[in-house]
Amino acid sequence: MGFMQGMKKGFVRLMYGRNGADQLGMATVWTCLVLDIISMFLQRRVPVAGAVLYWAAMALWALAIFRMFSKNLYKRREENSRWMQLRSRLLGGRQSAKERHADKEHKYFTCKSCKTICRVPVGKGSVEITCPKCGAKIRGKT
């Protein structure tokens, strides 16, 4: 067994039962890298702001390393789940809006009372739609 294989096996043994890198951990690492780069550029022009960003990045690095080496898998998975829910809420609306805009075969109406999006085929003329969630009437032209 070579030196590198031994190092790999040792690292695998060290990380056994630990959280490792998940989506929240990687987002934290990327945020740290961005903050470090910005702080390097700000260090010469605005030293106080650069120092604040540097220490914020160091705190985030410590948090990321703590999360990766943590053995409390239940808590870390719960944190990651909350992060993924927040991320999908923030990015999901934008993605579905792009898909609706690209769909030329349907017209989309939003219910004013419950904000549900209703889809109707194009070319039906003036229509009155009943919202499937709240029962409100939506009038529009397709």
pLDDT, tens digit, 9 for 90 and up, residues 19-53:
888 999 999 999 999 999 999 999 888 999 999 99
Confidence (pTM): 0.63
pLDDT, tens digit, 9 for 90 and up, residues 71-105:
999 999 999 999 999 988 888 777 777 888 888 89
CA proximity to 54, closest of 86, 82, 32, 76 = 32
CA proximity to 34, closest of 53, 21, 52 = 53
User: Which residues are CB-contacts of 50 (< 8 A; sequence separation ≥ 6)?
Assistant: 39, 40, 41, 42, 43, 44
Rounded Cα gap, residues 69 and 136, in angstroms = 52
